[in-house]
Amino acid sequence: MTRPTINDIARAAGVSKGTVSRVLNGHSTVAVRTRAQVEQVMSELNYVPDPAARHLSWRTGQTLGLSTLPGDPLLSPYQVLFRRALEAHTAPAGVQLLDLHGELAQVVRFPSAVLLMHIKPHDTRLDILVARGVPVVLIGHHPQHRWVAPDDQNGAQLATRQLTDVGHRELAFLGTGESQVARDREAGFRAAAQAVGANVFTLPGGFTVLDGYRTVRRAWEGGLRFSGLFAASDEQAVGAATALQDLGLDVPGQVSVVGFDGLPELPLPLRLSTVAQDIPRIAEVALHLVQEALAGDVVRGEYVPVTLQPGQTVAPPPRRLPP
């Protein structure tokens, strides 16, 4: 049996996760009857709190910054889902989320801690935060700082193997770039493709639907041919599939497409084959790491597993590549 979580306790007790957290941390704001109900469920489920987490709680007046790069779409589906997952934990604790969009050099007063999104090599934002003594947690991996990240490389291998397992050997990767996410997902793609001796092509692009559409349409019209495509994001995958269909191709009959993220709502008539991130878990771990940083605990990082979600956009390759 798996170890019960706070989510399990909240569901069984009919209360919010925030209420369970306040019971665990001994807050006096929880009604006596509610506290007793939560404690009874904990006993029935044999719930044992993580001893390293019990001393971690938000203090009054603390703020949390969310740092994104210039050009990052703040209302992208992923960004909205991630922020919603953060607020599920911060709002009950009275912690304010602050958007730090763009460069950090001009910031006069920093929040209590910062979550750093979309890491790139030699990211100057990290240098600024370290110099100012601001506790920081990366959504991405780093050998010297606290971090949490989806298992991008293994996830990309899962996505690519869904193509290679049904026979695809002419493969394209959409989303080559300098970000850590793009590099990790391309590395996973290449590893899985190399394992079966597939021919590979790479296409650059941002993570949006429009990026995917433009890049794939131009590449196909320029003569590039492939039977299977792995896109570094679901949005790119939607753009790619739409471009192929607009060019008169059948998806997945002539070209198969796989995405990455597991977004719940996509503007595509077919259910996209994708690799899903556990966004709520990533947010939960990130906030736990923030509290550890504020408490001065040992630096650590954690990969969050991803899950393959087969859809309707993968099929065996055609006998011949489309003209």
Query: Has residue 35 got a pLDDT over 60?
Result: yes
Amino acid 20: pLDDT: 83
Cβ neighbours, 10 Å, residue 83: 18
Residue 115: closest CA among 84, 74, 88, 83: 83
Can you give the pTM of this predicted structure?
0.82
Find out whether 233 and 260 touch, Cβ atoms under 8 Å: yes
* Alpha-carbon gap, residue 322 to 299, rounded angstroms: 52
Residue 262: closest CA among 245, 243, 275, 280: 275
Query: Has residue 54 got a pLDDT over 50?
Result: no
Strands 307-309, 273-276: pairing is antiparallel
| 68, containing H or E segment | strand 63-68
Find out whether 200 and 207 touch, Cβ atoms under 8 Å: no
Query: Has residue 146 got a pLDDT over 80?
Result: yes
| 217, containing H or E segment | helix 209-221
The token pair that represents 69 in the structure block? 């790069």
Half-sphere exposure of 200 (CA within 13 A, CB side): 21
Find out whether 232 and 207 touch, Cβ atoms under 8 Å: yes
Can you say how many angstroms the Cα of residue 190 is from the centroid of all Cα atoms in its chain? 20
* Alpha-carbon gap, residue 137 to 23, rounded angstroms: 26
Mean pLDDT, rounded, for 3-7: 80
Query: Has residue 187 got a pLDDT over 60?
Result: yes
* Alpha-carbon gap, residue 160 to 158, rounded angstroms: 6
pLDDT-above-90 percentage for the chain: 67
Under DSSP, is residue 292 helix (H, G, I), strand (E, B) or coil?
helix
pLDDT: which is higher, 92 or 231? 231
Query: Has residue 207 got a pLDDT over 90?
Result: no
Amino acid 25: pLDDT: 64
Query: Has residue 277 got a pLDDT over 60?
Result: yes
Q: What angle do CA 307, 230, 241 make, to 5 degrees?
A: 110
* Alpha-carbon gap, residue 68 to 160, rounded angstroms: 29
The token pair that represents 280 in the structure block? 């709520």
